[in-house]
Amino acid sequence: MALITIKEYAARHGRDHRTALQKAQRGKFETAKKLGRDWVIDEDEPYVDCRIKSGKYQNWRKPKESQ
């Protein structure tokens, strides 16, 4: 397990380092931890997209029609 900085991790995965940092702060990475003022992560951890893409919440604000 080799630890690298969040900035280097984001560059390896083609992501913005601020996005990866926010994801680490929210606890979305299993191996990310803060050492002093810097965030580090295991270099082998996969970058998982946590967005819901199934359309499950599509039109959730519209009232349901009564039948």
48-60 pLDDT tens trace: 988 888 888 888 8
Task: Tell me whether residue 19 is in a domain.
Answer: yes
Structure tokens at 50: 């946590």
Task: Tell me whether residue 55 is in a domain.
Answer: no
Tell me the per-residue pLDDT of 22-67, one tens digit each, with 9 for 90 and over: 999 999 999 999 999 999 999 999 999 888 888 888 888 888 776 5
Q: Return d(Cα 53, Cα 40) in angstroms, integer.
A: 28
Task: Tell me whether residue 38 is in a domain.
Answer: yes
Task: Tell me whether residue 52 is in a domain.
Answer: no
Task: Tell me whether residue 33 is in a domain.
Answer: yes
Task: Tell me whether residue 22 is in a domain.
Answer: yes
Number of domains comprising the chain: 1
Residue range of the domain that includes 11: 3-42
- State residue 31 phi and psi, 5-degree precision: -105, 0
N residues, the chain: 67
Q: Return d(Cα 55, Cα 22) in angstroms, integer.
A: 24
